[in-house]
Structure 1
Amino acid sequence: MRELRNIEGLHPRDLTQRQRLLVIFVISLGLVVLFYTLIYNWGMRALENRPQSIFRSFQTVVETMTTTGFGADSPWATSVMNILMVTIQLTGIVIGFVALRVLVIPLFEQTPLNLAGRLTSKDDHVVIAEYQRDTDVLLDELEELDIDYVLIESDVEEAKRLSDAGYQAINGDPEEQADLDRATIERASLLITDAGDKTASIVLTALEANEDLRVISFTESTRHNVALTEIGVDYSVAPHALIGRQLAEKATTPVTVDEQSEEDEIDIREILVRRDSPLHGVQVRDSPIVRHPNLTLVAGWFDGELRLPPSPDDKLTPNAVLTVAGPINEIDEMTSEIGGVRSRPITTQSKIVVAGFGEGGTAAVDVLSTDVSVTTVDESEERNPDVIGDVTEPETLREAGIEDASALVVTVGADSTALMTIAVARSLSNEVEILARVTDSDKTRAAFRAGADYVLSIQQVSARLVAAEVHGERVMDPASQIRLVRTDAALFTGETLADARRDTERSWTVIGVSRDSTVHTDEQTTIRADDEIFVAGSDEAIQEFEQTVDVQ
């Protein structure tokens, strides 16, 4: 059950249409009763010559409106008072019907006839036109970030379920202008479509009402990207292909080291936090890697999101991949010290097995460099894989060379098949690095238990991508290569390494100092004018750095 919002300091625009209607009804009823009470009290004194207290008049009016009787005041001698009493009676009947329709019937049915009545006032919000993944995951992500949205769901029962759970959802057909208008599309800033073949129709209809609308479209294949761009889609996302590329990039060469001589002994390596690591739940600031005086944490992957540099508050999970720079022997010692953590040098993998050669597997193969040996496995002969067979069978994986492979990328369709493939592969090789895609975010933990080293969920990645796009950022952009360059230290003369690393706003960081053929990485090392420094960062960050200094 989702937590209810605290109503303290509630603004009127935070009320749903139904709640606003209820407030108006209660206030109007009070004003009508007060008006009739005053008129009746005056009439009893001036017309009937029977003065009485205002409270007696209030009682009589309520009895009349509710048709429960008139008490001792009847009959009335004047025609004006009799007409007044008839008017009060008719008003009471009308109010009773209104209360029955607005309050009583919806209360017992537990859902209004029009779900739009539950929507709060919207402006500069997100309209979601269908969503074919786990809708709750997406909406929870938007709620957590306090992003206003309206979901248009064509399935009546699903729309009612979401609305009853407190989500801003209505039932309707997003191809119809009237239903888009109910979601106040004219005041929205972003449209998200995940409606298959209906996508083009929905986008064109929405842009007629709001030509300034930004549009994100989820598709099953990248083949439609060009066509969708032509009709006004700003960003097309094929989650299967996106994650396939991401897994392949994680399995191969996410980091390069430029022109490093052997005597420098500086290296960049990834430390993959495996499922049995004792670091689970430890914050980055408390990890032994960060506390090490000669090592620098350059970047980190957390649930598929690259953070450069990681926040000290980030917690290490089985999905965390830390990019560490420093002397080779120091990294080796750290790797040996941390049990349950697997470290690999950032070098090209010798052999990759791709299990599942659909949209995701094809994207994974496309992103791999030509010097990587790739073996594709699929049970469909039409997809023309290298090995035809069931990826859950040990014989099939052995034929693909799993026992000699450095990494296995699992991009099969069903989560059950993915979990079995992971388990079988792990039983055949304890050294192979397994990177897998699952659909259901709840299956992520199961994939780790089965033996995976790195797992991405389509549901979670899609939800985070949408949430990030609202803020103008993309969570799942292709991974930027991380580079290490040498440069003159004049810019940092007089600073310690700790001082040079302190600026967390920069996307590049100073790794160490080269002096007299020796590399110093201790934070207390003072940089001299004749030193050389090592700087690490993404391609984009290094380009930014190179605009400031001359890099050798």
Structure 2
Amino acid sequence: IRADSPLAGQQLGELRLRERHGVTVIGQWRGGQFAIAKGPDMRIESGAILVVVGAHASLTQIERLAAPIRRTGPIVVAGYGTVGGKVVQMLRDAHEMTVVIDQQLAPGVDIVGNVLEHTTLNRANVRAASAVVLALSNDSEGVFATAVVRDYAPEVPLIVRVNRALNIARLYQAGADFALSVGQMAGEILAYHLLGEQAVTVEPRIKFVRLAPGALVGQHPWRAWVRERTGAAVVAVERDRDVFVKFDDDFQVDPGDILFVCGTLSSLDQYVREFQAAPAESALTADEPNDSAL
């Protein structure tokens, strides 16, 4: 959320993002801490990263509100090892322009140099980048590089790889906008593929779960005061193999629907009790397209 965004400093209740844009705010990251959106009083902070659920078109609208002036330069990736190489591959698959920095000359490396040196940052035109990704293999070097890049380009979004979760706080103190723990990400992927997890973790305290509608049958999913009563939020409804994340005024939950509910473990337990909900199996397979995104 840029400082000049119309969202900055506003409360969720004032913005009415659900009614106006069809999105659900799950919470916000700020300085390495995640704050759950428990109700309309949550204030969106400048510099925060929102976690939002909605259709692609709705998310695009929110993105424009969050960052009114989009930077148009390439994404600079520093570090071209296993992680950096995968990041570059994914970015290029998404048709994003990239500039790769590494200390070793190799196919795919655009600039050979040390990211800790201003001459290297100058050659990569980092100040004009749309974002910088530091994919360095050493956490100590990552912290140092974060401080150098943040001092050199204060306005550029900075995303940093971290190996050990205990170093995340150091990266935020050094100026990272977002730090990703390789271990945590790998754990989530393994749990999903090997253990058949039916819940998706956004942050260690927060999960998405699929539930039968229970007492929400016949009600509009956003007008039953779910978040106020339980702390959890209904973010999507699956019906006849389609997933809806935006609902017309006359939308009502049917008995055969599957609800996607997001919250902490305690709020999800409260939701199950309050609305007499039970776990549900989704008929939507992973390879079928739909118009929802996180």
Give me the TM-score of the superposition, normalised by structure 2. Answer: 0.54
Query: Is 1:364 matched with 2:87?
Result: yes
Report the CA distance shift for 1:365/1:327 in structure 2 as closer, same or farther (over 3 A). Answer: closer
Report the CA distance shift for 1:290/1:386 in structure 2 as closer, same or farther (over 3 A). Answer: same
CA shift for structure 1 position 368: 1.5
In 2, Cα distance between equivalents of 1:501 and 1:509: 17
CA shift for structure 1 position 471: 5.5
In 2, Cα distance between equivalents of 1:289 and 1:466: 37
CA shift for structure 1 position 436: 0.7
2:246 to 510, 517, 529: 510
For 1:419, give the aligned amino acid: V
1:472 to 197, 202, 205: 197
In 2, Cα distance between equivalents of 1:366 and 1:497: 39
In 2, Cα distance between equivalents of 1:300 and 1:272: 19
2:13 to 274, 285, 291: 291
CA deviation profile, 1:32-90 (whole Å, cap 9, x unmatched): xxxxxxxxxxxxxxxxxxxxxxxxxxxxxxxxxxxxxxxxxxxxxxxxxxxxxxxxxxx
- The equivalent residue for 1:444 is 168
Instruction: Kindly indicate which of the two structures has a greater share of residues assigned to strand.
Output: 2
Secondary structure of 1:381's aligned partner: coil
In 1, Cα distance between equivalents of 2:200 and 2:222: 29
Secondary structure of 1:430's aligned partner: coil
Report the CA distance shift for 1:347/1:426 in structure 2 as closer, same or farther (over 3 A). Answer: closer
Instruction: Summarize the alignment of residues 222-371 of structure 1 with structure 2, pairs less than 5 Å apart.
Output: 271=1, 288-292=10-14, 294-296=16-18, 297-298=23-24, 300=26, 312=38, 320-323=49-52, 325=58, 332=65, 343-344=66-67, 349-369=72-92, 371=95
C-alpha contact 1:358 1:383 (8 A) present in aligned 2:
no
| Count, aligned residues | 205
Report the CA distance shift for 1:327/1:386 in structure 2 as closer, same or farther (over 3 A). Answer: closer
CA deviation profile, 1:434-475 (whole Å, cap 9, x unmatched): 011011111101111111111111233334445565452475
CA deviation profile, 1:1-47 (whole Å, cap 9, x unmatched): xxxxxxxxxxxxxxxxxxxxxxxxxxxxxxxxxxxxxxxxxxxxxxx
CA shift for structure 1 position 292: 2.8
CA shift for structure 1 position 498: 4.3
> Structure 1: 5+ residue runs without aligned partners?
1-270, 274-278, 280-286, 304-309, 333-342, 478-494, 514-525, 529-537, 544-552
Structure 1 vs Structure 2 CA RMSD: 4.6
- The equivalent residue for 1:433 is 157
C-alpha contact 1:408 1:433 (8 A) present in aligned 2:
yes
In 2, Cα distance between equivalents of 1:434 and 1:466: 27
CA shift for structure 1 position 300: 4.7
Query: Is 1:404 matched with 2:128?
Result: yes
C-alpha contact 1:501 1:509 (8 A) present in aligned 2:
no
CA shift for structure 1 position 311: 7.0
For 1:322, give the aligned amino acid: V
Secondary structure of 1:382's aligned partner: coil
Secondary structure of 1:391's aligned partner: coil
Secondary structure of 2:236's aligned partner: coil
Identity of aligned residues (%): 22
In 1, Cα distance between equivalents of 2:10 and 2:48: 18
- The equivalent residue for 1:542 is 291
CA shift for structure 1 position 500: 8.9
Report the CA distance shift for 1:327/1:319 in structure 2 as closer, same or farther (over 3 A). Answer: closer
In 2, Cα distance between equivalents of 1:383 and 1:476: 36
In 2, Cα distance between equivalents of 1:292 and 1:355: 40
For 2:13, give the aligned amino acid: R
C-alpha contact 1:403 1:429 (8 A) present in aligned 2:
yes
For 1:323, give the aligned amino acid: V
Q: Which has the higher contact order (CA 8 A, sep 6+)?
A: 2
C-alpha contact 1:353 1:405 (8 A) present in aligned 2:
yes
Secondary structure of 2:149's aligned partner: helix
Report the CA distance shift for 1:353/1:442 in structure 2 as closer, same or farther (over 3 A). Answer: same
In 1, Cα distance between equivalents of 2:60 and 2:186: 38
Give me the TM-score of the superposition, normalised by structure 1. Answer: 0.31
For 2:118, give the aligned amino acid: P
For 1:457, give the aligned amino acid: S
Instruction: Summarize the alignment of residues 367-406 of structure 1 with structure 2, pairs less than 5 Å apart.
Output: 367-369=90-92, 371-382=95-106, 384-406=108-130
C-alpha contact 1:349 1:407 (8 A) present in aligned 2:
no
- The equivalent residue for 2:276 is none
For 1:295, give the aligned amino acid: L
CA shift for structure 1 position 394: 1.5
Report the CA distance shift for 1:419/1:540 in structure 2 as closer, same or farther (over 3 A). Answer: same
Instruction: Kindly indicate which of the two structures has a greater share of residues assigned to helix.
Output: 1
